Amino acid sequence: MVRFLLTRASLVIPTFLGIVFLAFILIRLVPGDPVEVRVGERGIAPERHAQLLHEMGLDRPLYVQFFDYVNGVVHGDLGISVITHRPVLEEFLTLFPATLELSFFAIVLALAVGLPAGIFAAVKRGSLVDHVIMGASLTGYSMPIFWWGLLLILTFSVGLGWTPVSGRIGNDFFFEGTSGFMIYDAIMSDEEGAVKSAFSHLILPTIVLGTIPLAVIARMTRSAMLEVLSEDYIRTARAKGLSTWRVIGVHALRNALIPVVTVIGLQVGVLMAGAVLTETTFSWPGVGKWLVESINRRDYPALQGGVLLIACLVMAINLGVDLLYGLLNPRIRHKR
């Protein structure tokens, strides 16, 4: 067991170094050196230019710079934002709860709707319900989610006036000492209507971000269920006289969930990419919107740090899913 955990975890190290290396060369590939990027179009005297390069350590050999960078990254130093002059890590951590909150509710929605829909479609295979569910999920899978968000805003915010257009909570609410998680803060604040306001801001972005994972989970659940339902042990369970729902809900679902769990793990990357679009559409103050703004402001350190952190996050969660998978499924654990 320990051996499995260690082998799997050690495989991450080269990938991690590779990601750090990519992030490292990223800034060097940008046309113009960092000094020029920083001073912008004003121009700078050559002596001052050399001096700045020296101060930033950019006149040293590349490999020395790389080890310095790795050392910094490991110690949480991801550089300073050119625009706000705050550490990139600090900026990221301030905004990350907003993205995390949104992603959490999106994946909960995707599971709450996607799993039952997939199971139902598999059980009623070939029926009208199956076709409707599969048609809807392929449409969801093909959805340009930025446009989907605009459509929802157009219908529910502009047309019906049910939900706000953007932001995380109404302007009349203000909390001291916030955790960054708006729903939690609203519940803790005791302010009347705060929770309702927070949820009404959250609902459309959640639907938008959850759409693709929902579609993927529904499709995956259906196909996994179909595979399991045709196996002998299911026939045995049926022959024993178990109720249909017991056979499906207990016997079949358990095995069908194994591939579904992997797919859920893979959705983390999808969620992060989706967050960029969803947050831009709804002016949701999370890391996705921040990254797009960083590009537009040519804030390369922020972009570099942000991408590095998100890549590491995706990697860590995939590792977690793999390890969990090994714990749940002995066949994988013992495979060399």
Partner 1 sequence: MTAAPAAATAPKIVSPRREIWLSMRANKGAMAGLVVIAILVFLAVFADFVAPHSPIEQFREDPTNYLKPPVWQEGGSWQFILGTDDVARDVLSRIIHGARLSLIIGCIVVTISLALGIGFGLFSGFYRGVVDIAIMRFMDIILSIPSLLLSIVIVAILGKPDIAKAMIAIAITYVPHYARLARASVLTELSKDYVTASRVAGASNLRLMLSTVLPNCMAPLIVQATLSFSTAILDAAALGFLGLGAQAPTPEWGTMLADSLKFLQRAPWVVTFPGLAILITVLAFNLMGDGLRDALDPKLKR
Query: Given the rule CB under 8 A, which residues bind partner 1?
Result: 14-15, 18-19, 22, 26, 29-31, 138-139, 141-144, 146-148, 150-151, 153-154, 158, 219, 223, 269-270, 272-273, 276-277, 280, 291-292, 295-296, 300, 303, 307, 310-311, 314-315, 318
C-beta of residue 56 within 8 angstroms of C-beta of residue 34: yes
**Hunting for tokens 């790795």 — which residue is that?**
70
Beta bridge mates, 39: none
Closest separation between CB of residue 18 and partner 1, Å?
Answer: 4
Q: Which two tokens stand for residue 11?
A: 């495989």
Nearer to partner 1, 50 or 257 (CB): 257
Q: Which is nearer to partner 1, 34 or 186 (CB)?
A: 34
Q: How far is the CB of 255 from partner 1 (least distance, A)?
A: 16
d(CA 151, CA 22): 37
Q: Structure tokens of 138?
A: 């392929």
Between 26 and 203, name the residue whose CB sits nearer to partner 1.
26
Q: How far is the CB of 148 from partner 1 (least distance, A)?
A: 8
Tokens matching residue 312: 């590491």
**Cβ–Cβ < 8 Å for 100, 285:** no
| Residue 238 vs 297, nearer CB to partner 1 | 297
Work out how close the CB of 215 gets to partner 1 at its nearest, in angstroms, rounded to a whole number: 10
CB neighbour burial string for 52-86, b if at least 16 within 10 angstroms, e if fewer? beeeeeeeeeeeebeeebeeebeeeebbbbbeeee
Q: Which two tokens stand for residue 52?
A: 């700045």
Provide, rounded to whole angstroms, the least separation between the CB of residue 228 and partner 1.
13
Q: Which is nearer to partner 1, 15 or 65 (CB)?
A: 15
Compute the 3-state secondary structure of the chain and give helix, strand, coil in percent, each to the nearest 5: 75, 0, 25
Please give the backbone phi and psi of residue 292, each rounded to the nearest 5 degrees, phi first: -65, -40
Q: How far apart are CA 52 and CA 231, in angstroms?
A: 69
Shortest gap between Cβ of 61 and partner 1 (angstroms)?
Answer: 22
Please state the closest distance from residue 310 (CB atom) to partner 1, in A: 6
Q: Please give the Cα distance from 54 to 145 (Å, whole number).
A: 46
146/184 with CB nearer partner 1: 146
Q: How far apart are CA 254 and CA 252, in angstroms?
A: 6
Which residue number, 173 or 201, has a Cβ lying nearer to partner 1?
A: 201
